[in-house]
Amino acid sequence: MKAIAAVLEKFNEPLVHREFEVQPLAEGEVLVKIAAAGVCGSDVHMWRGKDPRTPLPMILGHEGVGTVADTGGEKRDLLGRLLRPGDPVMWERGVMCGRCYYCVVRKEPSLCPHRRTYGISFSCAEPPHLRGCYAEYLHVKAGAPFLRIDDAVDPAVLVAASCSGATAAHAIEVSRIRPGDVVLVVGPGPVGLFCLALALKAGASRVYVSGTPADASRLDMARAFGAAGTINVGEMNADQRRQYLLDATGGFGPNVVLDCTGSVRALEENIALVAPGGTYAIPGIAEPRERFPVDLFAWIARKNVALQGVWVSDTSHLWQAVQLVLSRQFPFERLVTHTFPLADAMAGLAAVEKCEAVKAVLKP
């Protein structure tokens, strides 16, 4: 059997559609027929050559939902349910060693120094080739956690949970949100909208969301998700934005800021607004960015503020994100604004890069 995949062979050049021979499965491996592959902002960064983890040639796509095509022996999901051909599934996108200090002692597998990721870390030059979701099939390594999806849900709606949703769940976990807290989400993309929903589920009394003029439709979506208010930075200057948030929080500022942009300008402005004892968490950086000076005394030490990194996620966060979507408490179907066939993968990358899409999805 053969499979078509969209291959990144040279940075900044169109993906090339190649045909690969599907390799036999070893014990514990799973062959997944891809039903939906999410186009993540990180995919654009890799295509542009901005991510040092990118080995060429490679098949992009770390966000996926699919059906079991075949298994190498018996394979069960996280709940012990036997997986059979045709079962709708999701899987952990990261491949951790399971033996190191961070996997075993710290129980933080997202920090595993040996971690690799489908669609990010694997070259397709060597068998089994199919290690990214911009393809008809994905060859998943033995030991990968799977979750069978029994609900009748559009795979395109669920796909963002595999990365954006899982990363947002990790951000909520480390940001120390307490019941009644006021939260500011910076950046209303998929990660930001998941952060909004998860912050409300975590007990935040109000969540505000800020974005740029290009985010106008996304800010509308944030209100549909339950945002108490939105800030369009094109309609307020920095002083007005600051005053708006101080007025909304009794003069203290937000208890938690979830920066989903990775923008140094956003960080410089918003870290100064965090309430004393609060947290500034950054789930929005996935590749090297420029540096900037930090006022450690005024912004961090004097206010006892925690500056918190958020690096990828683990299976517990994937579980939380999937359950959130399946709960149907939030209109996640609205995230999917663009769908493309695999042959038009470049159009998907362009829609994300130009901020035309909230979530773009490929359907092989």
pLDDT of 113-165, one tens digit each?
Answer: 999 999 999 999 999 999 999 999 999 999 999 999 998 999 999 999 999 99
Segments forming the whole domain that contains residue 175: 165-309
Regarding whether 21 and 150 lie in a shared domain, the answer is yes
Regarding whether 169 and 119 lie in a shared domain, the answer is no
Here the tokens at position 284 are 């929005």
Q: Return the pLDDT at 73.
A: 98
Confidence of residue 96 (pLDDT cuts 50, 70, 90): very high
Distances (CA, A) of 12 to 8, 15, 290, 314, 349: 9, 9, 21, 30, 11
CA 154 to CA 247: how far, in whole Å?
A: 41
CA 186 to chain centre: 15
Residues 160-204 pLDDT 10s: 999 999 999 999 999 999 999 999 999 999 999 999 999 999 999
Regarding whether 6 and 91 lie in a shared domain, the answer is yes
Regarding whether 235 and 178 lie in a shared domain, the answer is yes
> Above 90 in pLDDT, residue 334?
yes
Identify the helix (H) or strand (E) that includes residue 94.
strand 94-95
Regarding whether 158 and 15 lie in a shared domain, the answer is yes
Regarding whether 189 and 60 lie in a shared domain, the answer is no
Mean pLDDT rounded to a whole number for the chain: 97
Confidence of residue 77 (pLDDT cuts 50, 70, 90): very high
CA 99 to CA 105: how far, in whole Å?
A: 9
Domain boundary among 309, 325, 345: 309
Confidence of residue 327 (pLDDT cuts 50, 70, 90): very high
CB environment 64-88: b (16+ within 10 A), e (fewer): bbbbbbbbeeebebeeeeebeeebb
Q: Return the pLDDT at 69.
A: 99
Q: Report the share of the chain in percent with pLDDT over 70.
A: 100
Q: Report the share of the chain in percent with pLDDT over 90.
A: 94
Q: What CATH number does residue 187 fall under?
A: 3.40.50.720
Question: Nearest 10 degrees: CA dihedral of 308, 213, 210, 36?
Answer: -70
Mean pLDDT of the region 83-88: 98
Regarding whether 116 and 228 lie in a shared domain, the answer is no
> Above 90 in pLDDT, residue 288?
no
Pairing status of strand 279-282 against strand 306-309: parallel
120-42-63 Cα angle (round to 5)? 65
Regarding whether 184 and 118 lie in a shared domain, the answer is no
pTM here is 0.96
Regarding whether 181 and 277 lie in a shared domain, the answer is yes
Q: What CATH number does residue 340 fall under?
A: 3.90.180.10
Regarding whether 172 and 156 lie in a shared domain, the answer is no
Q: Return the pLDDT at 64.
A: 99
